[in-house]
Amino acid sequence: MARGIGWFDAFREVAPEWVVVVLGLVTQLGDVWFLSALVGALYVFETGNRDGIAAIAGLLLAGLSLITGLKHLFALPRPERVLVEVGALPEALHPLYEATATATGYGFPSGHALMSTIVYLSLAEYSGVSTRRRRYLGAAGLVTAVCLSRVGLGVHYLVDVVAGVGVGVTFLLLAWGLLNRYPTHRGTLGFSLAVVVGAAALVPSGMDADALLLFGASLGALAGWQLAALARALDAGRGPIREDRPLTARVAVIAVALVSLVALIGLFWPTVILAGSGALGLVVAAVVAASERYRSGQASGI
């Protein structure tokens, strides 16, 4: 399948060698580590919009599972080209080049384009910084910069990033329709979407290691969020649990998620990746629940 439009060679002829470093740094704005650190920091330190940030964390996990499934479904290669040969750069820049300006695996659609679309547009939608118009303009600028960096580095065709943005926007419109219909349950719905998309991604990926780990992390995040919500409700004087249907439902979700994670470890221990998925989920559950309890204590002055 031809996905290029033939302009890259002309760009490579005129681009100075240093531009690969600039593009390599810009592309990190859409990398998993940066987006995860950004959302994680907001989740830990933001106290005024718990559900909104939790929803974004859930959408981040769902997006990672979505791109994993789509890449395996289409299984299209990346371009066989580089903007600058590594040998043309000073030796001191070689590690930076390898870390920021190269990529492996399938190329369609672009994961950086999809994930930056999901995270930055969700922050524009749910954060309270500045005005709505400025938030969206900033998000659009960041997504555009990430997409151009991926094409400019030669690790994606233009159609890859366009498809990534298109899938990201479509996913967000569907997800936001659900989240905005039940604004007091955005965190629960966000993490639930992550579990559903994570489970669906296991099929086209053929139980790929990344898909399994993401599914475990999504289950753990949902369980941890429910644990924290249950604790807050009990602190507020609700209960007993057996007489409160919403609390009973939370306990059921927690039990199913934690039992599933423990089962992954106990039943599949010889298979490291399956056991690892369960272990990762339990760690994520503990981190999410502990973070929520810490923030609740800070908010109440404890």
In a domain, 219, yes or no: yes
Domain of residue 218: give its range: 207-302
Mean pLDDT score of the chain: 81
Same domain as 158, residue 79: yes
- Which carries the bigger pLDDT value, residue 264 or residue 38? 38
pLDDT at 144: 96
Give me the number of domains the chain comprises.
Answer: 2
Q: Establish if 232 belongs to a structural domain.
A: yes
Distance CA 40, CA 34 (A): 10
Q: Tell me, yes or no, whether 194 lies in a domain.
A: no
Q: What pTM does this model have?
A: 0.86
Name the band, by pLDDT with cuts 50, 70 and 90, for residue 128: confident
| 248 pLDDT higher than 50 | yes
Residues 220, 167, single domain; the answer is no
Phi and psi angles of residue 203, each rounded to the nearest 5 degrees, phi first: -70, -60
Establish if 275 belongs to a structural domain: yes
Quick check: is 255 in a domain? Answer: yes
Q: Report d(CA 16, CA 10) in Å as an integer.
A: 12
Q: Alpha-carbon torsion 58, 287, 281, 223, what sign?
A: negative
CB 250 within 8 A of CB 229: yes
Task: Specify the pLDDT at position 176.
Answer: 95
For residue range 15-33, what is the model confidence (pLDDT) as tens digits?
A: 666 677 788 889 999 999 9
Whether 144 and 15 share a structural domain: yes
Contact 273, 212 (CB under 8 A): yes
Whether 164 and 213 share a structural domain: no
Pair 250, 170 in one domain: no
Same domain, 157 and 34: yes
Does residue 141 surpass a pLDDT of 90? yes
pLDDT of residue 292: 66
Q: Kindly tell me if the per-residue pLDDT of 238 is higher than 80.
A: no
- Determine, yes or no, domain membership for 156: yes
Cα-flanking dihedrals φ and ψ of residue 2, to 5°?
-85, 125
**202 within domain boundaries:** no
Considering the domain boundaries, does residue 197 fall inside one?
no
